[in-house]
């Protein structure tokens, strides 16, 4: 067996020690088992999924941001949507 050192941050080390203690094994055994499990898992088992985004027409067509700004600032728009 080859001995290897590994640098891990304190948070991860604490999580590893806690998980190993919960299983009643040493941290070294826990890490070895986790690595063996990860290597046995075939990487091809995760099939890439195709991203699909549906487009919905809500009836509003904005040619440019300035067009809508002009509409909002118009007096007609103000009269129509102001609550007096």
Residue 78 lies in a domain: no
Residue 81 lies in a domain: no
Range of the domain at 26: 10-43
Residue 35 lies in a domain: yes
Range 41-68 average pLDDT: 76
CA 21 distance to own-chain centroid: 30
Residue 60 lies in a domain: no
Residue 83 lies in a domain: no
Residues with Cβ < 8 Å from 30, sequence gap 6 or more?
A: 16, 19, 20, 23
User: Looking at the 3D structure of the chain, how many domains does it have?
Assistant: 1
Residues with Cβ < 8 Å from 25, sequence gap 6 or more?
A: 33
Residue 30 lies in a domain: yes
Give the pLDDT band (50/70/90) at residue 60.
low
Residue 58 lies in a domain: no
**pTM metric for this prediction:** 0.48
Residue 25 lies in a domain: yes
């Amino acid at each position: 067996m080859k001995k290897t050192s590994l640098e891990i941050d304190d948070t991860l080390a604490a999580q590893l020690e806690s998980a190993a203690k919960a299983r009643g094994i040493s941290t070294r055994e826990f890490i070895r088992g986790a690595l063996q499990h990860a290597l046995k898992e075939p990487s091809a088992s995760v099939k890439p999924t195709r991203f699909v985004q549906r487009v919905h027409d809500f009836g509003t067509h904005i040619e440019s941001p300035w067009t809508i700004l002009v509409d909002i600032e118009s007096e007609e728009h103000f009269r129509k949507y102001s609550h007096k």
